[in-house]
Structure formats: C-alpha cells, structure tokens
C-alpha cells in the first residue's frame, strides 16, 4: 500500500469495509497513487535508471520518485537490480511478469476510457 493509516479512523474503517466487500478496491488503491502507473509503464519500455525516470518526469520530485519506486518493488511489480556493486553503484529497474499482466489490464482500462469518456 502507498501510505499508512491510523487505526480506528473513519478512513481506515472505510478502507477495511471496501476491502472486505471487494478485492478490486485493494487493487485500485494500490495502483492509484499519482505517478505510479506512469513510472511502471516507463520501466516496461526497458531497463531504466533513476536518472532516466527523472528525465522522463521532470516535475516529479526525487522524494516521490524514490517512494513510488519503493512501493513498486514492495508490490513485486519491478525489480531493483544492482549492475555494478562497487561505488558508484549502477542500479537499474526491471519490470516483472506480474507487472506485465497488470499493464495489459491497465491498457484495457485505458481503451475503455477512450471509448466511453
């Protein structure tokens, strides 16, 4: 998930109720944070470094980019691969099979939006 909720708040209770009602709500909540799908889509185009993503999304702060990358790794949608272990490290991000399946669904959702919006 993208952020921690305070237990017992109405927001936490609502999220729990929605999760119990339908698992789709969990999925939508997981993929909905700003920039998350754009970053995933860019990584799907090939092995990508932090600096490449920064160039692709210049208005995205380093802090949010790092946070979203961490979420994508935790969600097992991308892999963080250390190519060069000696300093300076060379790190690239790679997409997982799980993410490729998700992107197919996202593309279908995009096509639906174009048709019906």
CA atoms within 13 A on the CB side of 12: 7
pLDDT along the chain (117 residues), means of 10: 66 67 76 95 94 96 97 97 85 96 95 94
Question: Quick one: fold of 33-116?
Answer: Arc Repressor Mutant, subunit A (1.10.10)
- If DSSP codes are grouped into helix, strand and coil, which group holds residue 19? helix
Enumerate residues 6+ apart whose C-beta is below 8 A from 39. Answer: 53, 57, 65, 68, 69, 72
Map tokens 């909540």 to a residue: 29
pLDDT value for 1: 42
């Amino acid at each position: 998930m993208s952020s921690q909720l305070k237990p017992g708040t109405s927001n936490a209770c609502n999220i729990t109720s929605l999760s119990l009602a339908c698992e789709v709500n969990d999925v939508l909540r997981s993929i909905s944070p700003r920039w998350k799908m754009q970053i995933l889509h860019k990584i799907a185009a090939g092995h990508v470094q932090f600096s490449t993503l920064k160039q692709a999304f210049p208005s995205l702060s380093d802090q949010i980019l790092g946070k979203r990358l961490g979420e994508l790794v935790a969600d097992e949608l991308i892999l963080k691969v250390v190519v060069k272990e000696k300093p300076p490290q060379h790190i690239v991000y790679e997409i997982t099979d799980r993410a490729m399946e998700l992107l197919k669904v996202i593309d279908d959702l995009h096509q639906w939006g174009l048709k019906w919006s």
